[in-house]
Chains A and B, each alone.
Chain A
Amino acid sequence: NAGVTQTPKFRILKIGQSMTLQCTQDMNHNYMYWYRQDPGMGLKLIYYSVGAGITDKGEVPNGYNVSRSTTEDFPLRLELAAPSQTSVYFCASSESSSGNTIYFGEGSWLTVV
């Protein structure tokens, strides 16, 4: 039961570097999400996707990009990393209905120095 898998788990970036956080799910879910969580705070939505080829911005999209070429994968790209992007990132997926469970990955801890 893989569920939602995120890589890498930990990463240190220098200011101005770029990287991609990978996310894949094996449940054939249409909906996928990227959240970030700063210390002591709740999760904030960065981007979401309602299906392959369709993505949209959440609350805090600046500095990030996403793509959804397949149902399974939803990578998050950080361009020109900044210290403000130091956070824990969670990928999630769900069925389309609002009555369905959202499944989360284990998180990716990112530090920008």
Chain B
Amino acid sequence: DAKTTQPNSMESNEEEPVHLPCNHSTISGTDYIHWYRQLPSQGPEYVIHGLTSNVNNRMASLAIAEDRKSSTLILHRATLRDAAVYYCILRSPLGGSNYKLTFGKGTLLTVNP
């Protein structure tokens, strides 16, 4: 599986934007970039995903570099409820075991009031 690299932790203030980076230099042309987050004592939940173009949804935006070797998850106005571990994951369409998600340690986001 292609690997991703994320900072171990980041800190933000409430109501400020947060940019969570992810490097994936070995990404293949057909890998989707997925972001999930895990709140304390809960299972991971989907945030956003994309292939080549930038994506927006009600939770966040995903900015994908032109060469696709990095991406950034953008939380436009952080709230205390956004404090979580954020995982950047690559998902291959090749079928079989490639449909699984391989998790790293993610980025622990702390939001200060």
Contacts and interface: CB of A to CB of B under 8 A. Distances in A.
Give the contact-size bracket for chain B.
20 to 34
Interface string A71-113: 0000000000000000000101010111101111111000000
Nearest to B48: A101
Contacts of A103: 46
B105 A102 contact: no
Contact of A104 (B31, B41, B45, B105): B45
Contact of B43 (A44, A48, A101, A105): A105
Contacts of B31: 98
Interface residues of A, number: 27
A98 B99 contact: yes
Contacts of A26: none
Interface string B48-78: 0101000000000000000000000000000
Interface in A46-89: 48, 50, 56, 58
B103 A44 contact: yes
A79 to B, nearest CB: 23
A42 B46 contact: no
Q: Which of A44, A101, A106 has the most CB of B within 10 A?
A: A101
Contacts of A105: 43
A89 B102 CA distance: 15
B92 interface: yes
B102 A104 contact: no
A41 interface: yes
B96 A42 contact: no
B98 interface: yes
Contacts of B10: none
A101 B99 CA distance: 11
B104 A42 contact: yes
A35 B43 CA distance: 10
21 contacts: A33-B100, A33-B101, A40-B105, A42-B103, A42-B104, A43-B44, A45-B100, A45-B101, A48-B97, A48-B99, A90-B44, A98-B30, A98-B99, A99-B49, A99-B51, A99-B91, A99-B93, A102-B36, A104-B44, A104-B45, A106-B42
